[in-house]
Structure 1
Amino acid sequence: MAPGAAPATTVTTATTAPVQVRLDELSPTVVRPGQDLRVQVTVSATAGSGTGPLTARVLTGASAVTGREELASWLHDSSPRPLAGRVATTQQLPAGLPGGGSTTLSLTVPRSQLSRGAPFGAYPLAVEVRSAEGQAGIARTVVPWVGRAEEFEPLRLAWVAPLTLPADPELTAGTDQQVGAAWTRAVGPGGPLQHRLDAASGTPVTWLVDPAVVAPPTRAGGLVTASSPEPAPSLSTPATPSTPTSPTNPTTPALPTPGATSSRTGASSPATSAGSAATAPAAPATPGTAAPSTPSPAPPAASTPAALAGAARDAQQLAARLKALGDDQPLWGLPTHDPDTAALLDSGLDDRLREVLYPSGASPLDAPLGRSLPSSVAWPADGRWDTDRSTQWPLLTGHGAPTAALVSSATVASWRGTTPGAAQRSAGGLPLLAYDERLSAVTAGTRTASDAQLVQEFLGQSLTLLGELPGTRRTALVTIPRDTAMSGPALRRLWTASGTAPWLRQVATSSILGQSPDASGPATGSPHVGVSPLDAERISALEQDAATASGLAQVLPPEQVSAGSWTTGVRDLASARWRGQPGSWETLRHAVTGSLSGTAQGIQVRPSTINFLADTGTIQITVTNALPYAVHGVRLELVPGSPKLRVDRSPGPISVAAGSRTTTQVQVTALGAGTVPLEARLTTPDGTVLGVPTTVDMNVRPTSVWVFVLIAGIVGAILVLGLARSLRRSPTRAQRELGDTHAVADAVLGPHRSPKDLR
């Protein structure tokens, strides 16, 4: 203990905290010999009734932390190991705090309380507030100490920072105003991306850029909405799916007479006679023409709303800033929309979704930058690079094998308990840029209560890292997470502090690629990354959404609706930005799926009942379009539910005006009598099913059946009559003339005749 130091004390953490203590500033951030330390805190009462008299005191540890795990435990565990240290200074609050009140305290630790014998170290420090009952609140931090002689090899420090979009569903789904405002929040002058660029002035940072940051939606009508498009008001919907054909009995369809057509269903019963091949229905509607109802015209394309125009200007300004960056802040490109390739590799995906997520061609950044960004460094969102990823990664992305991968040091085997260096090599020989897991986790900005605590933790962790091998030249890489909560001012504060720390030397990330990498093996550590919402089931659903979006793009007019907005929604759902954000992911998922299904279900086959009295002929199927825009090239597929009916020829492509209906003719052949359910499916040219299949009930009565039944009935009646006549034969003419022969014999021979007399 230094001369004049206060007596030693032991500090524990109270189970309840009547007051909250927030560390606002430590000045200087790194203490050197001959310097006092000023500690500024804000003390707030958490109890509504206020507090009694309080005493604030600063306690410093007698010895430096001996390892990185010990430092993390001191700062973040709810019950860390008690601090055996000294009371460096105190300040009284005799009046206490009113309920909900707060006050700011500035306490100065004299240099005499800070003298250390070690050349450097990170020392624990606590600001404790006590009441009459004991500890009322505490804030814990760490103070780096460096002596006059710098007895170490400075640690080289490289930075990688993301310029990616936040996990905000309104960037894709919502009204024009909502989407435009979300983009302005993300990429505008007051957004986090511009603030990061401001904070990095003078710091060698390598930026990992998602090209989608400069590609907001630019026109109305192309945004994903959570509900289906408003139906056109002119299209009337039938009250019942079954169509009566008899005006006298609307509930029981009657068999139509030859040549009659069923009304309102758009289906006809062909007029045929026995032995005829087929006859056409009476006056069918021409395929592709609307029914007599008056369709509403498709809404005209609106001009770009002000909110979207403002977002486009913000994106252009961001692109201009990126183009103006110097050589000390290079840009590395990510795949557009930053897909979570690691999660996609774990579950697999089909070729259609792969082409959507990893399209070929120029990225949205190429034109504003006037060049293509290098994009050969892979950044798996889970921080891992397994042995088989060197082969699987290029097969999935289709962009060639990466030249390096950005991975967490937690996934790299350590050497004798030390933290792995930044330059590593996979088992397959791929260079790995291993970012320091603990330093990078600090920059997430979610584990500390204030910017000052974050800066002190980062400095303490880096100094403890230096202490592992103080005489060895080492390089550490810090990768700021995609979902960092650090504000621009907090980053500026961190980069300023790390740039002036005597044990740190800022270097370019590219310098790591030029180092001789260490052969690394697998480690059992887990990176601090959120769980991806993309599992096998959800990826399968995305595959279906991608297929539906692709199919709708083939039948909808591009000037009326932007099918690209659905594709953008699918790409956004596959992004790495949603790790640890399942609620936001589900919100966007619901919007994209609802918009797709609502549009697809706007084109349907009207349910009906058709009476078919022929061996072969045509029926009419009605297709309705409740959408406010026309559709073209729709295919109709009919699948009989029984072998009693055969569809001979499917109709050609169908076009339906906005808010209208049309009928199409289908050639069928009856193979038996009975009720046959006919499943009607509408598909796009590539086979994507639109909406839900509809059932058309067919009452099939082939001509040959009822004719044969009639003939058989007549023949049977003749046979029955002949048999009955033969059984009940009438008397012959001779019998009718002679009368009763026995009576005549009695009269001539007498009643006592013998049988011989009758011979």
Structure 2
Amino acid sequence: MSRPVRRAPARATPVVLLAVLLIASTWVFGGAPAVAASGSPSPSASALDTDLPVSVSIQRVMPTVLRPGDDLTVSVTLRNTGSAGIADPTVALRINRLRPTTRAELSSWIDRSSGVVGVRLTTVHPGALAPGAQLNVDLTVPASAIGLNNVSSGWGPRGLSVDVTDDGGDRAGTARTFALWLPDGTVPQARVSVLLPLTGPARTPTVAGGANAGATPGATGASTSGATAGATPQPSPSGTASTPSSVAVAPSAAEQAALERLTTAGGRLRAVLDLARSSPDLGLAVDPALVADAQVSGAHARAWASDLGTALSGRETFALPWSDPDLATVAHGNGADLLRTAQQLSSDVGIGGQTARTDVLWAGPGAVDTSTLGLARTVGAAAVVVGPQSLQSVGGVATTARADVKTATGTMTALVPDDVLTSLLTDPESVEPGSTAATAVQRTLAELALLTRTGSSEPRDVLVAPSRDWSPDPTTAQAVLAALSSSPWSRLEPVSTALGNPDDRSKRAPLPASASAPDELAPATVQALATARTTTRAFASITQEPDTLLAGVDDEALTPLSVAWRSSPGDRDALAARLVQAIDDRRSGLSLAPVSNLNVISASVPYRFAVRNGLPVPVTVRVAVHPRKSCLGAATSDAVTVSAGAEASVPVVLHAAANCEVIVDAQVTDLAGQPVGTGAQFTARVAPTVENVGTAVVGALLAIGLVLGIVRTVRRGQSARRGARRTSEDEAPPLPPLGGDVSPGRPS
């Protein structure tokens, strides 16, 4: 006989085991099971409703971090945005005692996509809520009723929900946030670095077609009272005044107006600086060109620059390359020399006399590519701050702020901001619709708790870095930053700390080799700026006063590269064309006076060329003459110095070798023979005739004969008839009398 089969227990056992495990895990990690209390209406776990008649704003969660023995108070504001009143609304506070284990679960709790409702802790009936009316409600839960387990490993976030139902028990409004539970005071801490950018509006130097040339985006409607002309040299990091030859030119009126608007109360630059002054632990990345422009602009801008100098004392500060160039634009335009120039200018000028690092760069908006990181390595940078959308973790694994990336020029360090934490500081509405300062703080600490719990046992480095155009909401930003510095599981650290720690080698999304954005400056324009600058600097070798000739040239070449110009590419392209022309015009002014056609009838003839100097500096040059045929030759002139605004005559000897008619090119050159001015062209008719040549030959022969005759005479000596006298004058016979012998007897 076969034994009977007992099937029922086999089906029941897995269900029982699952239920036991669920209940056990619930009590270990959070307390009582998260089920709705009997008899109370439970909102459905649908997606976040946006058309409910009651707006619920969570204004306060006290305490921010909940510990055993603490009562929990959640303060909310109810506003009836519907057309009908609610006679007796019910406000319920619920908690999900299960601790989230991933950052994705935090999002699913907020948007209600998880399907979890939570257990009711307390209920309040605040009274009638008429259309358009507002009620402030406090929901307080005693510590004994919270029901979270005191196991030390259970620390972290728990979901909180405030639900409003109308007279019929239907949901009328809802809001969600988190409680932060800490049963034990000893928990690991994440190292959080905050880096705030201080960059200005698009710059428009006055040299580009006048004081109002160019249109600075957003520069209308601001006062420019108190603006002054000319920048006062600021102390360099060494403490001495810095006056490099190519520092800033004066900002245009449009740029000064924009700076006034940005530095007045409520302006972006003023708000960021005031936020930074609230904590010395916040790092600043500053464009020194912005500070230089502010120091010579209106009253608000000058006051802002002064306050910035005070705020930098004792703070970690990074000096961005001059004028904040767009790294991607420079990389795609092969403009490494321009970036080196920008770095050197920032190093030379400094920021208000304070010491600042210049080896950390900041990429422009959008995704970064390996060519951009390769450029940073080429110019000797230690790291590049990239956008939070680049180098994101794969598979939801938590990563550190530092990422080492292989490029064509070697490995480069990228600093990657945390996308969610940065958004909670700058725009919490993008993370949690309907967010308040209180919910931004609770979500920030919830995210940090899971970052700290996930991954290795080593402290994790986290970077928070807002975008350049961020204009902070003071209330929310100060609340979030205060939470970062006081949280049990995070502490503020300098950015250099993250730089000094190794990459955790987590898997990240790869970067493209090259990816150009449509609003970048064209590579050909980058090269035109670089060529104009290089040529002009070489040209300056002809003067002993190169600083005068080159003043502002580097600033002009760098201005169109600024990240700020991404918002107005059309105006930027026009400005770049004007600046290339302005840089080229610095080499205009040296010329030769026009030369008439010449008749050269001698074998050698000097000719004087007139060199005109229209430059503001004296120059030392030569005149080089190049006949296009060999029948005429010419030597290069001696060096001659021509005063500023003057004219000098320079002789050049022309040598005729044969009869011809030849086109001659004359050019002003530097001492090395490179052309430096406008030349002249003329026609020379060369006719060294036969007679002239014969005369020269006969003359030469006669001269030779004369010399030979003299030599021959000397060498022949004296004959008997031309001998030298050998007796004295007394012994010589007397000469006969003049006219004959007069002796007696001889006829006279």
Same fold (TM over 0.5): yes
Greater relative contact order (Cα 8 A, min sep 6): structure 1 or 2?
1
Aligned to 1:422: 401
TM alignment of 1:484-563, pairs within 5 A: 484-486=470-472, 491-492=477-478, 494-496=480-482, 505-513=491-499, 515=501, 517-520=503-506, 523-524=509-510, 533-551=520-538, 553-554=540-541, 561=548, 563=550
Deviation at 1:6, TM superposition (A): 6.9
Partner of 2:391: 412
Which residue of structure 2 aligns with residue 478 of structure 1? Answer: 464
Q: Which residue of 2 aligns with 1:198?
A: 274
Pick the aligned partner of 1:163 from 189, 194, 198: 198
Cα offset, 1:544, TM superposition: 2.0
Q: Quick one: which of 173, 179, 186 aligns to 1:146?
A: 179
Residue of structure 1 equivalent to 2:260: 185
1:448/1:454 contact within 8 Å kept: no
Q: Contact 1:442–1:454 (CA<8 Å) still a contact in 2?
A: no
Contact 2:318 2:358 in 1 (8 A): yes
Q: SS of 2:400's equivalent?
A: coil
Shift of 1:579: 4.9
Structure 1's 11 and 555: CA in aligned 2 closer, same or farther, altered over 3 A?
same
For 2:85 and 2:579, the matched residues in 1 are separated by 54
Task: Report the 3-state secondary structure (helix = DSSP H, G, I; strand = E; otherwise coil) of the residue aligned with 1:484.
Answer: coil
* 1:546, distance to aligned residue in structure 2 (A): 1.6
- Give the deviation of 1:440 after TM superposition: 3.6
Name the aligned partner's letter for residue 144 of structure 1.
Answer: T
- 1:368 partnered with 2:353: yes
Partner of 1:208: 285
CA, structure 1 residues 393+496, in 2 after alignment: closer, same or farther (shift >3 Å)?
Answer: closer
Once the two structures are TM-superposed, the CA of residue 547 in structure 1 deviates from its matched residue by: 2.3
Identity of aligned residues (%): 19
Name the structure 1 match of 2:234: none
CA shift for structure 1 position 656:
4.8
Cα 1:535–1:366 change in 2 (3 A) is: same
State which of 673, 679, 685 in structure 2 corresponds to 1:701: 685
Query: Residues 564-621 of structure 1: CA distance to partner in whole angstroms, max 9, x if unpaired?
Result: 2122222444455545553464354245334323443344445565344446545554
Q: 1:9 & 1:578 partners in 2: Cα distance?
A: 44
Deviations 1:164-192, CA, capped at 9 Å, x for gaps: 44433259866466728746639967564
> 1:162 corresponds to which letter in structure 2?
P
Q: Give how far 1:84 is off.
A: 13
Contact 1:675 / 1:700 at 8 angstroms: preserved in 2? Answer: yes
CA distance in 2, matches of 1:316, 1:27: 36
**Equivalence for 1:293:** none
Change (3 A) 1:205 1:470: closer
Deviation at 1:649, TM superposition (A): 1.9
Find the partner of 2:379 among 384, 396, 399: 396
CA distance in 1, matches of 2:93, 2:517: 34
CA distance in 2, matches of 1:480, 1:342: 19
Deviations 1:341-365 (A, max 9, x none): 56544543476x5663343996333
Structure 1 residues not aligned, in runs of 5+: 15-20, 44-52, 94-104, 128-139, 219-305, 709-759
Q: CA deviation at 1:412?
A: 3.5
Q: CA deviation at 1:322?
A: 1.5
Deviation at 1:155, TM superposition (A): 5.5
Matched, 1:36 2:23: no
Taking the aligned partners of 2:639 and 2:480, their CA distance within structure 1 comes to 66
How many Å apart are 1:214 and its aligned residue?
Answer: 4.6
* Counterparts in 2 of 1:631 and 1:5: CA distance versus 1, 3 Å: farther
8 Å contact 1:199–1:492 — kept in the other structure? Answer: yes
Given the superposition, is the C-alpha separation of residues 486 and 651 from structure 1 closer, same or farther in structure 2, using an over 3 Å criterion?
A: farther
**Pairwise mapping of residues 5-404 of structure 1 onto structure 2 (< 5 A)?**
27-28=59-60, 34-38=73-77, 92=131, 120=157, 143-146=176-179, 156-170=191-205, 175=211, 179=251, 182=255, 185=260, 192-200=268-276, 201-202=278-279, 204-216=281-293, 315-323=305-313, 325=314, 329-340=315-326, 343-349=329-335, 353=338, 356-359=341-344, 363-365=348-350, 368-369=353-354, 372-381=355-364, 393=376, 395-397=378-380, 402=382
Match of 1:565 in 2: 552
Q: Is the 8 A contact 1:622 1:664 kept in 2?
A: yes
Contact 2:157 2:446 in 1 (8 A): no
Q: Is the CA contact 2:617–2:644 (under 8 Å) kept in the aligned structure 1?
A: yes
Corresponding residue SS for 1:357: helix
Q: Structure 1 residue 663: deviation in Å?
A: 4.7
Mapped contact 1:209–1:332 kept (Cα < 8 A): yes
SS of corresponding position for 2:74: coil
Letter aligned with residue 379 of structure 2: L
Alignment of 1:586 with 2:573, yes or no, is yes
Greater radius of gyration (CA): 2
Give the residue type in structure 1 aligned to 2:76. L
RMSD: 6.1
Deviations, residues 486-508 of structure 1 (Å, cap 9, x unaligned): 46676445534655778765444
Question: Partners of 1:429 and 1:700 in 2: how far apart?
Answer: 63
The answer on 1:610 being equivalent to 2:597 is yes
The one-character-per-residue Cα deviations of 1:224-271 (angstroms, maximum 9, x if unpaired) are xxxxxxxxxxxxxxxxxxxxxxxxxxxxxxxxxxxxxxxxxxxxxxxx
Unaligned residue ranges in structure 2 (runs of 5+) = 1-35, 65-71, 118-125, 149-155, 165-172, 212-227, 230-249, 693-748
Is residue 405–residue 433 contact of structure 1 (8 Å, CA) maintained in 2? Answer: yes
C-alpha contact (below 8 Å) 2:328/2:516 kept by paired residues = no
| Matched-pair contact (CA < 8 Å) for 1:56–1:90 | yes
Distance change (3 Å), C-alpha of 1:432 and 1:645? same
Question: Structure 1 residues 354 and 146 mapped into 2: Cα distance closer, same or farther (>3 Å)?
Answer: closer
Distance in structure 2 (CA, Å) of the matches to 1:125 and 1:192? 35
- The 1:366/1:411 distance shift into structure 2, 3 A limit, reads closer
Report the CA distance shift for 1:689/1:334 in structure 2 as closer, same or farther (over 3 A): farther
Indicate the SS of the match to 1:179: coil
Look up the match of 1:434: 416
Q: What secondary structure sits across from 1:700 in the alignment?
A: strand
Q: Which of 587, 598, 601 matches 2:588?
A: 601
What is the CA–CA distance in structure 2 between the aligned matches of 1:707 and 1:453, rounded to whole Å?
105
Per the TM alignment, residue 391 of structure 1 is displaced from its structure 2 partner at its CA by 8.0
Taking a change above 3 Å as real, the CA distance of residues 171 and 634 of structure 1, as seen in their structure-2 partners, is same
For residues 660 and 62 of structure 2, what CA distance do their matches in structure 1 show? 94
Offset at 1:204?
Answer: 2.2
Q: Deviations over 1:88-132 (max 9, x none)?
A: 998636xxxxxxxxxxx856688599x9999847899999xxxxx
Question: Is contact 1:613–1:702 with CA below 8 Å preserved after alignment?
Answer: yes
Checking the alignment, whether the CA contact within 8 Å between 2:403 and 2:503 is kept in structure 1 is yes
How far 1:205 moved relative to its partner? Answer: 1.1
Compute the displacement of 1:206 (Å): 1.9
Q: How many residue pairs are counted as aligned between the two chains?
A: 559
